[in-house]
Amino acid sequence: MPESIASKIHSNPKFVKLCKQRDTLGWILSLIVCVMYFGFTLMIAFTPDILTAPIASDSVIPLGMPLGVGIILMSCVLTGIYVFKANNTYDPIMKEIIEEATK
């Protein structure tokens, strides 16, 4: 890419802001996944009794089961949130930034 376009994009405050926003969203969502998953993992490791306690007194279903399935479903939802946000908010701004630098 020509040096002039590169420096134009780099010095565009919109670009710096966009990268920061997109990175922040990515890291926050990653953090949510890690907290859910390692929370689950730490319960397996240190409090298995809580994790495997039945969800109701007349049920054999352990608490870990809805939690595990919940993590799977949340993973799908979070990927959906990221894709929606990136497609509808970030991509148009990035397109503008590139157009401004190349015209």
Residue whose token pair is 């907290």 = 35
Q: Provide the minimum distance between the beta carbon of 71 and other proteins in the complex, in angstroms, as a whole number.
A: 5
In this structure, is the dihedral angle defined by the CA atoms of residues 62, 63, 64 and 65, taken in order, positive or negative?
A: positive
| Count of residues engaged in binding other proteins, rule: CB under 8 A | 52
Is residue 52 classed as helix, strand or coil in its secondary structure? coil
**Residue 94 makes contact with other proteins by CB under 8 A:** yes
Q: How many helices (H) and strands (E) does the chain have?
A: 5, 0
User: Which tokens sit at 13?
Assistant: 């405050």
**Residue 92 makes contact with other proteins by CB under 8 A:** no
Residue whose token pair is 């701004």 = 93
**Residue 60 makes contact with other proteins by CB under 8 A:** yes
Residues that bind other proteins (CB under 8 A): 1, 5-6, 9-10, 15, 19, 22, 25-27, 29-30, 33-34, 36-38, 40-42, 44-46, 48, 51-52, 54, 59-62, 64-65, 68-69, 71-73, 75-76, 78-80, 82-83, 86-87, 91, 94, 97-98
